[in-house]
Amino acid sequence: MPTAAVLGSAGYTGQETLDRVLHHPDLEVLALGSDSQAGQPASALDPRLARNGSLPALVSNDEALSSGADVIFCCLSNERAAALEPPPTGIVVDLSGAHRIADTSLYEQWYGFVHPKPESQADWCYALPELRPPTGRLIANPGCYVTAAVLALAPLRGEIDPATVVVDAKSGVSGAGRTPSEATIAGAVLENLKPYSIGRYRHLLEMEMMLGFAPTFVPHLLPVRRGLLATCYVNGIAAERARALLEAAYEGSEVVTGLPGGVMPEIGRVVHTDGAELAVFADPPSGRTIVIAAEDNLGKGAAGQAVQNANIALGLSETTGLRLEGVRV
Amino acid sequence: MPTAAVLGSAGYTGQETLDRVLHHPDLEVLALGSDSQAGQPASALDPRLARNGSLPALVSNDEALSSGADVIFCCLSNERAAALEPPPTGIVVDLSGAHRIADTSLYEQWYGFVHPKPESQADWCYALPELRPPTGRLIANPGCYVTAAVLALAPLRGEIDPATVVVDAKSGVSGAGRTPSEATIAGAVLENLKPYSIGRYRHLLEMEMMLGFAPTFVPHLLPVRRGLLATCYVNGIAAERARALLEAAYEGSEVVTGLPGGVMPEIGRVVHTDGAELAVFADPPSGRTIVIAAEDNLGKGAAGQAVQNANIALGLSETTGLRLEGVRV
Amino acid sequence: MPTAAVLGSAGYTGQETLDRVLHHPDLEVLALGSDSQAGQPASALDPRLARNGSLPALVSNDEALSSGADVIFCCLSNERAAALEPPPTGIVVDLSGAHRIADTSLYEQWYGFVHPKPESQADWCYALPELRPPTGRLIANPGCYVTAAVLALAPLRGEIDPATVVVDAKSGVSGAGRTPSEATIAGAVLENLKPYSIGRYRHLLEMEMMLGFAPTFVPHLLPVRRGLLATCYVNGIAAERARALLEAAYEGSEVVTGLPGGVMPEIGRVVHTDGAELAVFADPPSGRTIVIAAEDNLGKGAAGQAVQNANIALGLSETTGLRLEGVRV
Amino acid sequence: MPTAAVLGSAGYTGQETLDRVLHHPDLEVLALGSDSQAGQPASALDPRLARNGSLPALVSNDEALSSGADVIFCCLSNERAAALEPPPTGIVVDLSGAHRIADTSLYEQWYGFVHPKPESQADWCYALPELRPPTGRLIANPGCYVTAAVLALAPLRGEIDPATVVVDAKSGVSGAGRTPSEATIAGAVLENLKPYSIGRYRHLLEMEMMLGFAPTFVPHLLPVRRGLLATCYVNGIAAERARALLEAAYEGSEVVTGLPGGVMPEIGRVVHTDGAELAVFADPPSGRTIVIAAEDNLGKGAAGQAVQNANIALGLSETTGLRLEGVRV
């Protein structure tokens, strides 16, 4: 059975990735990296893990990186991930932003650090399975906002008027990671809604790469633990045409659900899943079409998509181990 | 001292209005109407009111209507309010939608009932104090979504391109009132975000009245008790110009705060107040300008604005009794 | 493969049960009952189900009851479930309270209806797998509050002083079901905490049955979607002794986790799982011992336990299809 | 008019205190201290303050301390406040725990620092207005948990059996202050409930001082921004007797409301107020009496009580400037 290592396994995306690997019928945990918790048993991450006798103890991220695992999930910070020296063989799925942008000169401005390894950036492929499956062993996993917006808009490319596109997005707090900050303490989030980072160009670079243009994009921080919804406004395409293009794009997909007429996407139905849902609405007075995408920022927006990418790269069935079926209260 | 009556005092807007009247230095409660609680002491609304020896017991809404109060706040349902026969003298502020739309033939389609009193609709004036102060004694108080969008956009009229305007709005659950429904039970709201009623044309009619055009409008239900944020996207005006127009429009206002550069509007700062806050952002790549408005849907979006309108109609200082100052955790 | 029917599949416990059955490797859905949605396809419950071609359409609860399924999960209201005529063969797991209390004369006072079938009440066995596994084919599944309190306290019976026991419990809103009410609309739940039904004797009857005594019990409604925590205070036993008894009681259990020293039970770690967690704390000044239990009210407190009971009754492995492993963000 | 200074005006209790001073008809802001924001205009705390032309700019806490204000509200950390050198005249209300415990040798163990000024601890009086009004100019303001528990229990002293008392308390996150930490980031708080610091002896010392005994005390962190509820269990007194004692103790109080029979205390009704509410319930089977207290941890539990104490010390009407009346949605 293929083996997996998780770097940064004590963070939100690290834990979510580990959780999927643990439930994956065709992956086995070989190494768990966490610089802050190296030396602890795996149950330091969650007391339930004490029942799993086969889990290795936590090691440093460097040790996990060189563990020889068939697939390495890198759940480190952008800067830390950028400095990563991939092992000579095996698959690496990087959930950070470090390997998403081809032009590494942009990192200083948009990520706040000089990219330490511009020479090997081209070795990485950016992969969003439904639209651009992985083509190599080093995989840059898309960001959560980008995944939602691109799933909604990419199939409409060429027909919509790029200059008209607005993406108004709302995300739960886990998207900001586990490091405490003034913006993410509960007293600043509960009973609140706040837009932030208007023009997050690091996200726009990814959107431009996948769409051919950068929309106007405003993210808002929601008082929910997880979940993301992107409300996308476009001109130049009729709602029925947009619906047809999206249905064609995701036909047969077990991951992306086109909702039937009249059903609204909602965060509550996609959290704790690895799927996304889409719906299209007409706005007759303006001739505008509205496409709304919902996903779990930690599922399809991070760990679920990472496992999906790993499945493809490993030659497994694409959705093995993903959480896609069922009903949701 | 002028006297006030509140019809529908057991609902959300009724209670909020009563609360403001109770703290108002120049208004005295004369009658409290509630058909469901008529006959009960005022403390049935809140046990603290038992300490207030001068409060009348609850009476039927009809009795409160004919109480002879100098100002009557009508906090009834749209349909109930539409049938209201105003007293021959005195001010009436209707917080419902019953008297907002001049063309009463539109009520059947957009409000779900045939307007029972089309002949007297013209007696009512629609009043949003900063932009269109009341001009008569029968006052239609604006809706919460409309207040936010119109405060953000009306001063830009004439310069923005109407066809480009998108209003993506998010509101807390108290905006849906106190009547239990499947959409507003906590299990459907917590850890969720859901768009609804895409194209709420009843709101668009009001916006069109105040703006001269109807924007594309998508409301979302937030998992917060109160608070509303409208993110408005426009083309045709530079951000600096928009900022200048808004500053000019609300210069000297104690109700509408233009935020300094870099400060984001947020619901958490305006809830439990009667103010609104606005900020303008440039989106250089698209040339689009983003105007964001935040308010408490029950404050500036309902009861606070109703008292503000009543103050003007009574000849009192406009902001007497409003909650506008201070700092907010 | 054994077949399953779910009655009341559109309610919270019905949906959660169906979700577990769908993911259960050894159960197949034979019938989905819902009186309100009979005739609709299964995807009326959740649009994702449209991808599952083998799911039957919704039928009336009576039809589902007589479907011939090997196990019937009854997720109906107390009163409706009490009138149920079980099929002559097959397992029935009733998630309601209708078959929990042996003395049916108590239903009028504590459940608000006269029990319609006292003569067959003795055919049902009350089953909480870790402490009292099912002994027959008609199984009364315990309530969520009772499950938490009994898991915490039953192993200590005989040593603790019954007169000293206090259970202070807190539950998420899904425990109140899906029917809208004034108490459960989001405006009454968000940013709130409220005790209710002090002395819920219907629950105390169950606790007395399992513990031999009824504790003092105060439930509180939490502003969370799901999850339940019971803080139990007892005298007469040292913390170490209590810990040893609990460890012995749940040794080898994959469902109930005794937390290591210093780790606090928390709702956030058990929601969306079928497990429970327990921890014991000493309060030296008072000599009191505190036992805290956390569970998902819809998991171990309802659907998860129902499947666990069904597994036992079907002769399957007890935890098949349950959600017990992994890490939780 | 008496003047006030606020030290630590950028923290939660500092802002809440400032907000009350701003609305206080008989107090004027003389100085605003904040070491992190000294030199900024007051509007750095809240953009609305820019409209208030009479507010001084922020200064260091030392400068604010020596500003000559008639009353100084000290909203600093415990350790910082303990080192404070009060000015020779004027009132100081310390909202921290630094001056609450007479035996300063206990600070090392329970507060984590050696008290730097044991010699002057006796100059401070601990004041909870309803039960122990301030007797000097240096006032230690009670903690939020202690206020709720003591309001519920102190009037019953002498009749209840101290050994039986359990206080199960639940507080919103603002009680933990504004400094980001792993325990208070929104991702750890939302959709969660977690007990913590079982046996917070620093609080027990205060309770013991006011009650003559220390109850068993378990605090829980609620997913709400503000609000606190304490569910207190006692033996040795009948519910009617407890109700009579509490009514007598708070007769005529505008701050503490005894709820009528059948009305449950709830956080939602007391947040954003400076009042507290109490209710008493009988638990016939056990003979136990349950007293429940609700308050806003930042209101009666901190800033409201501080202003109440200052009012008394200044010879003003006790409730001037407090938020006590009205109705609450």
Task: State the pLDDT confidence band at D292, using cuts at 50, 70 and 90.
Answer: very high
User: SS3 of D92, please?
Assistant: strand
Cα–Cα distance between B293 and B234 in angstroms, integer?
Answer: 14
Instruction: Tell me chain D's radius of gyration from C-alpha atoms.
Output: 19
pLDDT at position A285 = 86
Closest to B290 (Cα-Cα) out of A219, C53, D195, D18: A219
Q: Is A274 an 8 Å CB contact of chain C?
A: no
- Determine whether the interchain pair B327/D48 forms a contact, defined as Cβ–Cβ distance below 8 Å: yes
Cα–Cα distance between D205 and D186 in angstroms, integer?
Answer: 30
- Determine whether the interchain pair C224/D284 forms a contact, defined as Cβ–Cβ distance below 8 Å: no
Within 8 A of B324 by CB-CB distance, chain D residues are 48
Chain A: residue whose CA lies nearest to D192: A225
Q: Is D259 an 8 Å CB contact of chain B?
A: yes
CA end-to-end span of chain D: 35
Task: State the pLDDT confidence band at D262, using cuts at 50, 70 and 90.
Answer: confident
Q: CB count, 10 Å around CB of D48? A: 23
Q: Is D249 an 8 Å CB contact of chain C?
A: no
Determine the residue among A45, A184, A190 to mutate to test chain D binding: the one whose Cβ has the most chain D Cβ atoms within 10 Å.
Answer: A190
- Determine whether the interchain pair A329/C47 forms a contact, defined as Cβ–Cβ distance below 8 Å: no
The contacts of residue B87 (CB under 8 Å, 6+ apart) are B65, B66, B68, B72
Q: What percent of chain D has pLDDT over 70?
A: 100
Q: Which residue has the tokens 């449950």?
A: D264
What chains are in contact with B, requiring at least 3 Cβ pairs below 8 Å? A, C, D
Cα–Cα distance between C300 and C43 in angstroms, integer?
Answer: 26
Cα–Cα distance between D168 and D269 in angstroms, integer?
Answer: 20
Cα–Cα distance between D71 and D50 in angstroms, integer?
Answer: 24
Q: Is C227 an 8 Å CB contact of chain D?
A: yes
Q: Answer yes or no: C74 catalytic.
A: no
Chain C: residue whose CA lies nearest to A259: C47
| pLDDT tens-place string over residues B1-53 | 999 999 999 999 999 999 999 999 999 999 999 999 999 999 999 999 999 98
Q: Which two tokens stand for residue B265?
A: 């509007």
pLDDT at position C229 = 98
One-letter amino acid at D296 equals D
pLDDT at position A149 = 98
The contacts of residue C51 (CB under 8 Å, 6+ apart) are A254, A257, A325
pLDDT at position A168 = 98
- Determine whether the interchain pair B182/C187 forms a contact, defined as Cβ–Cβ distance below 8 Å: no
Q: Is D141 an 8 Å CB contact of chain B?
A: no
Task: State the pLDDT confidence band at B96, using cuts at 50, 70 and 90.
Answer: very high
| pLDDT tens-place string over residues C230-277 | 999 999 999 999 999 999 999 999 999 999 988 999 999 999 999 999
The burial class, CB within 10 Å (0-12 / 13-18 / 19+), for B157 is middle
pLDDT at position A4 = 98
One-letter amino acid at D292 equals I
Whether the pLDDT of residue C17 is over 90: the answer is yes
Task: State the pLDDT confidence band at A2, using cuts at 50, 70 and 90.
Answer: very high
| CA D263 to centroid of chain Cα atoms | 24
Q: Are D276 and D151 in contact (CB under 8 A)?
A: yes
How far away is chain A from the Cα of C162, in angstroms, using its nearest Cα? Answer: 31
Q: Are B308 and B256 in contact (CB under 8 A)?
A: no
pLDDT at position B327 = 87
pLDDT at position A327 = 87
**Residue-wise DSSP of B268-288:** HHHTTSS-EEEEEEEETTTTE
The burial class, CB within 10 Å (0-12 / 13-18 / 19+), for A88 is exposed
pLDDT at position B263 = 94
User: SS3 of D257, please?
Assistant: strand
The contacts of residue A213 (CB under 8 Å, 6+ apart) are A162, A163, A165, A207
pLDDT at position A328 = 77
Question: Of B48, B272, B326, which has the smallest distance from its Cβ to D22's Cβ?
Answer: B326
Task: State the pLDDT confidence band at B325, using cuts at 50, 70 and 90.
Answer: confident
| pLDDT tens-place string over residues B137-174 | 999 999 999 999 999 999 999 999 999 999 999 999 99
β C138-140/A166-171 pair status? unpaired
- Determine whether the interchain pair A47/C191 forms a contact, defined as Cβ–Cβ distance below 8 Å: no
- Determine whether the interchain pair A186/D182 forms a contact, defined as Cβ–Cβ distance below 8 Å: no
Closest to A245 (Cα-Cα) out of A152, A174, A107, A143: A152
Instruction: Tell me chain C's radius of gyration from C-alpha atoms.
Output: 19
* Domains detected in chain C: 3-142+301-314 (3.40.50.720), 144-298 (3.30.360.10)
Cα–Cα distance between A207 and A169 in angstroms, integer?
Answer: 13
Q: Is B47 an 8 Å CB contact of chain D?
A: yes
**Residue-wise DSSP of C94-131:** E-SSTTT-S-TTHHHHHHSS--S-GGGGGG-EE-BTTT
Q: Is the dihedral of CA C259, C265, C268, C272 positive or negative?
A: positive
Cα–Cα distance between A222 and A184 in angstroms, integer?
Answer: 10
One-letter amino acid at D273 equals T
Whether the pLDDT of residue A329 is over 80: the answer is no
| Average pLDDT of the segment spanning A22-38 | 97
Chain C: residue whose CA lies nearest to A187: C191
Which string of b and e fits C135-157 if b means at least 16 CB within 10 Å?
A: eebbbbbbbbbbbbbbbbbbbbe
Q: How far is CA A262 from CA A151, A229, A281, D327, in A?
A: 20, 17, 9, 39
| pLDDT tens-place string over residues B197-236 | 997 788 999 999 999 999 999 999 999 999 999 999 999 9
pLDDT at position C327 = 87
Question: Of B193, B214, B215, which has the smallest distance from its Cβ to A266's Cβ?
Answer: B193
Q: Is B184 an 8 Å CB contact of chain C?
A: yes
| Average pLDDT of the segment spanning B99-118 | 96
Within 8 A of D222 by CB-CB distance, chain B residues are none
pLDDT at position A136 = 97
| pLDDT tens-place string over residues D115-160 | 999 999 999 999 999 999 999 999 999 999 999 999 999 999 999 9
pLDDT at position C328 = 77
Q: Which residue has the tokens 């810990």?
A: C243
The burial class, CB within 10 Å (0-12 / 13-18 / 19+), for D135 is exposed
Question: Of C166, C266, C290, which has the smallest distance from its Cβ to D193's Cβ?
Answer: C266
What chains are in contact with C, requiring at least 3 Cβ pairs below 8 Å? A, B, D
Helical (H) or strand (E) element with D239: helix D239-249
- Determine whether the interchain pair B174/C191 forms a contact, defined as Cβ–Cβ distance below 8 Å: no
| CA A102 to centroid of chain Cα atoms | 18
- Determine whether the interchain pair D190/A186 forms a contact, defined as Cβ–Cβ distance below 8 Å: yes
pLDDT at position B201 = 80
Spot the catalytic one: D74, D75, D144, D232.
Answer: D144
Spot the catalytic one: B74, B75, B144, B232.
Answer: B144
pLDDT at position D326 = 84
| pLDDT tens-place string over residues C284-302 | 989 999 999 999 999 999 9
CB pairs under 8 A between A and B: 133
| pLDDT tens-place string over residues D3-37 | 999 999 999 999 999 999 999 999 999 999 999 99
Closest to D99 (Cα-Cα) out of D117, D112, D113: D117
Chain A: residue whose CA lies nearest to B268: A192
Q: Is B220 an 8 Å CB contact of chain A?
A: yes
pLDDT at position B160 = 98
Question: Of A191, A266, A329, which has the smallest distance from its Cβ to B225's Cβ?
Answer: A191
Cα–Cα distance between A329 and C14 in angstroms, integer?
Answer: 9
- Determine whether the interchain pair C184/B189 forms a contact, defined as Cβ–Cβ distance below 8 Å: no
HEC string of chain A equals CCEEEEECCCCHHHHHHHHHHHHCCCCEEEEEECCCCCCCCHHHCCHHHHHCCCCCCEECHHHHHCCCCCEEEECCCHHHHHCCCCCCCCEEEECCCCCCCCCCCHHHHHHCCCCCCHHHHHHCEECECCCECCCCCEEECCCHHHHHHHHHHHHHCCCCCHHHCEEEEEECHHHHCCCCCCCCEHHHHCCCCEECCCCCHHHHHHHHHHHCCCCEEEEEECCCCCCEEEEEEECCCCHHHHHHHHHHHCCCCCCEEECCCCCCCCHHHHCCCCCEEEEEEEECCCCEEEEEEEECCCHHHHHHHHHHHHHHHHCCCCCCCCCCCCCCC
- Determine whether the interchain pair D22/B272 forms a contact, defined as Cβ–Cβ distance below 8 Å: no
| Average pLDDT of the segment spanning D256-276 | 95
Output DSSP code: residue B302. Answer: I
Closest to B169 (Cα-Cα) out of B210, B135, B203, B202: B203
How far away is chain C from the Cα of B176, in angstroms, using its nearest Cα? Answer: 9
Cα–Cα distance between D94 and A61 in angstroms, integer?
Answer: 47
Mean pLDDT of all residues belonging to chain D: 96
pLDDT at position A94 = 98
Within 8 A of A174 by CB-CB distance, chain D residues are 187
Q: Is C71 an 8 Å CB contact of chain B?
A: no
Closest to C143 (Cα-Cα) out of C183, C196, C100: C100
Chain C: residue whose CA lies nearest to B221: C186
How far away is chain A from the Cα of B43, in angstroms, using its nearest Cα? Answer: 28
How far away is chain B from the Cα of C227, in angstroms, using its nearest Cα? Answer: 12
pLDDT at position C124 = 98
Q: Which two tokens stand for residue B223?
A: 């998992």
Task: State the pLDDT confidence band at A201, using cuts at 50, 70 and 90.
Answer: confident
- Determine whether the interchain pair D186/A181 forms a contact, defined as Cβ–Cβ distance below 8 Å: no
Within 8 A of A275 by CB-CB distance, chain C residues are 48
Q: Is D236 an 8 Å CB contact of chain C?
A: no
- Determine whether the interchain pair D229/C195 forms a contact, defined as Cβ–Cβ distance below 8 Å: yes
pLDDT at position A325 = 82
Give the length of chain B. Answer: 329
| pLDDT tens-place string over residues C93-146 | 999 999 999 999 999 999 999 999 999 999 999 999 999 999 999 999 999 999
Chain B: residue whose CA lies nearest to D173: B329
What chains are in contact with D, requiring at least 3 Cβ pairs below 8 Å? A, B, C
Task: State the pLDDT confidence band at A79, using cuts at 50, 70 and 90.
Answer: very high
- Determine whether the interchain pair C170/D193 forms a contact, defined as Cβ–Cβ distance below 8 Å: yes
What chains are in contact with A, requiring at least 3 Cβ pairs below 8 Å? B, C, D
So what's the ipTM on this one?
Answer: 0.96
Cα–Cα distance between B230 and C104 in angstroms, integer?
Answer: 56
Within 8 A of C225 by CB-CB distance, chain A residues are 268, 329
Q: Are A22 and C326 in contact (CB under 8 A)?
A: yes
CB pairs under 8 A between A and C: 95
Q: What percent of chain B has pLDDT over 90?
A: 95
Helical (H) or strand (E) element with B187: helix B186-189
Q: CB count, 10 Å around CB of A105? A: 10
